[in-house]
Structure 1
Amino acid sequence: MVSHPSRRTVRGAFVATAAVVAAAMPTTQATAQPSTADALAKYNELSEKASQLNQDHLKAQGDLAAKQGELDKAKADLANAQKAEESLRGQVDLLTEATYGGARFNQISALLVSDSQQDFLNRMSAINILAADNAEALQKLTDAVNTADAATKTANEATEASKKLLAEIEKKKADLQKQLDEARAQYNSLSAATKTALKNTGDMSSILVPPGTAGKALDFALQQRGKPYVYGSNGPNTWDCSSLIQAAYRYAGVSIGRTSYAQAAAGRSVSRSEVKAGDIIVYYSSQSHVAMAVDNVRAVHASTEGVPVKIADINSIGPISVIRRIEG
């Protein structure tokens, strides 16, 4: 998922960074500190917007993949329906040719050509069977034609929907790139001391995790500390916020969605006071950032470009939207 320093993720990092930078400036501290805070706040704001656009872009890609699956199924259904229709048309054509070729399947013709009562009954039985076969074949043909028509409509609708999604993806991609350019320009304008503070990997100590699925997922996430953040990355050497969480639970044998939006609906909801290791914490009203609880106080997350995967105070990352528990 996309992580942003604009979250308290970076807010947490920003507060620490501002303190570090301020301490490094002896005589101009009074004027430099506000400038540093403003620059970090602006970077945070731009990063959060980029994070949301990244999640939107990822969601659109997922929607397209799902729609492509519908389109493939519709095309297969259409091919099968057309094949069935062709086969049934042949059967109906044969019965029609037999009828118009002189095979008068009615009671009068059976009576006129029968030489005994039993022969008449036999002929009538055959006529009834042929009539039933003809009616059944016609009904099947009608059903096949209707199925083919419905499949054609579905395939056409899926095709149009896919085209619209492709156009939407291209627009979101362009919007994301523009936002990334702004965020990166702001990052480049930061002082060397500020950048150094942002790049700090934080707590890299060994952390005991609980047994079970949540502990296994957390162990994976903790192993990624220090790795760079890259928008849209799926690992294993770089991550965005939601890809880190998805990969962690995949490692633990659980499948969850790729985006922070999907992860905000995974598992079950728990309150802030109930948070424990392995819980998924989704931030902002837009639900554009996600982290994993280390315990009731800390979380590990992929924050934003320029900030590595690290541990931060849960409440410093940003305003919490929802907390989800995958196990238990």
Structure 2
Amino acid sequence: MVSQPSRRIVRGALVATAAVVAAALPTAPATAQPNAADALKKYNELSEQASKLNQDHLKAQEDLKAKQGELDKAKGDLAGAQQAEESLRGQVDLLTEATNSGANFSQISALLVSDSQQDFLNRMSAINILAADNADALQKLTDAVNAADAATKSANEATETSKKLLAEMSQKKADLDKQLAEAQTQYRSLSNTVKNQLAASGDMSNINVPAGTAGRALQFALNQRGLPYVYGSNGPNSWDCSSLIQAAYRSAGVSIGRTSYAQAVAGRPVSRSEVKAGDILVYYSSQSHVAMAVDGIRAVHASTEGVPVKIADIDSIGPISGIRRIEG
């Protein structure tokens, strides 16, 4: 029979041995899955990149539209110049024909065929008028030809630029589609808890807005809370960041640019400490996102896919690169 002290010694030795063996065994690797914070961070990064590409694509569309307007004008100028050239060339041809028919009298021939001094003066006046008309018509024809040449050159240049802008826009659209696919894939990897947090409408309470243009614009933006974000959307049932801001100020009677780049230079700059309702907050060094201040602490914005228009803390949205005031 083993005594009690002997049993305690054996058990202690077995425990010690097990501890040594466990320490010697390799630790099982953790499953290589990103945690919720890392997944959300990656999603936000991809969304910000997609937002910049979206603004680039929108700007390319605006540039192409403007250049096509220049092309249309150049074509109109060319048609007008060619018509003027044709009309003036006919006038010059008539004057040339009159000259060849003997209308180009010299002062001596006028003197020889004149019956009186008054007749001579009348003939000289006619000769001078004909000469002046001929010179004027020739100058106008020259100007019309030069104008037609300039219009042709302008139209050709506008055509080539439009082709380049169209190719550029197509490439930016392809880049945007690729970036959106990556962001959507990352979004699907988020947990349901995180997705629900993103999809929440946030503060939907009534908010008092100031009188005036900024207040009317802010009220419009607040009324859009809960609507979805869609890249490139112009409303009225979905928005991207800059279309929301543009529509808000349009509802207040003020026209501003469509892109965040245009809005980043609209109005006048103000400092962070001066922010008040209606100010446009520009985010990131790329100026790829904009929001509208509710007050000095909060802003309303259309942030990214999967997140509705909602209110957020100004400084939580991202690094501020500029603040613009449209009125006051």
Same fold, judged at TM 0.5 (above): yes
Q: Which runs of 5+ in 2 are unaligned?
A: 1-30
1:143 maps to 143
2:86 maps to what in 1? 86
Deviation string for 1:166-185 (max 9, x for gaps)?
10010000000000000000
Q: Conserved in 1, the CA contact under 8 Å of 2:57 and 2:169?
A: yes
Equivalent residue for 1:257? Answer: 257
Give the corresponding residue for 2:25. Answer: none
1:312 paired residue number: 312
- Determine the structure 2 residue equivalent to 1:117: 117
Q: Could you tell me which residue of structure 1 aligns to residue 221 of structure 2?
A: 221
Residues 301, 309 of structure 2: 8 Å contact kept: yes
CA contact (8 A) 2:277 2:296 kept: yes
2:190 partner amino acid: L
| 1:111 shift after superposition | 1.4
Query: What do the CA deviations read for 1:173-225 (whole angstroms, capped 9, x no partner)?
Result: 00000000000000011111111111111100000000000000000000000
Cα distance, 1:113 vs structure 2: 1.1
Give the residue type in structure 2 aligned to 1:317: I
1:172 maps to what in 2? Answer: 172
Q: CA deviation at 1:268?
A: 0.4
Task: Tell me, in whole angstroms, the C-alpha distance in 1 between the residues paired with 2:320 and 2:244.
Answer: 18
Cα distance between partner residues in 2 of 1:32 and 1:140: 80
Corresponding residue of 1:192 = 192
- Per the alignment, in what secondary structure is the counterpart of residue 307 of structure 1? coil
Equivalent residue runs for 1:281-300 within 5 Å: 281-300=281-300
Q: How many angstroms apart in 2 are the aligned matches of 1:134 and 1:308?
A: 73
Distance 1:181 1:40 in 2: 16
Cross-structure match for 2:55: 55
2:294 and 2:132 mapped to 1: Cα distance? Answer: 72
CA spacing shift, 1:291–1:33, aligned 2, 3 Å: farther
Q: Counterpart in 2 of 1:97?
A: 97
Moved over 4 A (4+): 31-34
User: Is 1:152 aligned to residue 152 of structure 2?
Assistant: yes
Q: CA deviation at 1:149?
A: 0.5
Residue 237 of structure 1 is matched in structure 2 by 237
Cα deviation per residue 1:104-124 (whole Å; 9 max; x = unaligned)? 321122112111111111111
Q: Does structure 1 residue 272 correspond to structure 2 residue 296?
A: no
| Other structure's SS at 2:103 match | coil
Paired residues for 1:22-37 under 5 Å: 35-37=35-37
Q: What SS does the aligned partner of 1:101 have?
A: helix
Three-state SS of the structure 2 residue aligned to 1:321 is strand
Alpha-carbon distance in 2 for matches of 1:188, 1:52: 21
**If the length of structure 2 is used for normalisation, what is the TM-score?**
0.89
Shift of 1:34: 6.6
Query: Aligned AA for 1:167?
Result: A
CA RMSD of aligned residues (A): 1.5
> What's the offset of the Cα at 1:32?
11
**In 1: Cα distance, 2:112 partner to 2:100 partner:** 19
How many pairs does the alignment contain?
A: 299
Structure having greater relative contact order (Cα 8 Å, sep ≥ 6): 1
The amino acid that maps onto 2:252 is A
Q: In the alignment, is the contact (CA less than 8 A) between 2:84 and 2:144 conserved in 1?
A: yes
Q: Distance in 1 between matches of 2:228 and 2:182?
A: 19
Residue identity opposite 1:290 in structure 2 = V
Based on CA coordinates, which of the two structures has the bigger radius of gyration?
2
Distance in 2, matches of 1:244 and 1:318, equals 18
Paired with 1:293 and 1:104, the residues of 2 have a C-alpha distance of 79
What are the superposed Cα offsets for residues 5-62 of structure 1, whole Å, 9 maximum, x if unpaired? xxxxxxxxxxxxxxxxxxxxxxxxxx99971111011101110110000000000000
Query: Deviation at 1:327?
Result: 0.9
Specify the code of the residue in structure 2 equivalent to 1:210: P
Distance 1:33 1:134 in 2: 88
SS in 1 for 2:174: helix
Indicate the residue corresponding to 1:108 in structure 2.
108
SS of the aligned residue for 1:102 comes to helix
Whether the 8 Å CA contact 2:104–2:127 is kept in 1: the answer is no
- Rounded to whole Å, the distance in 1 between the matches of 2:212 and 2:106 is 76
Letter of the structure 2 residue corresponding to residue 169 of structure 1: M
Structure 1 residues not aligned, in runs of 5+? 1-30
Q: TM-score, normalised by structure 1?
A: 0.89
- 1:123 maps to a residue whose letter is R
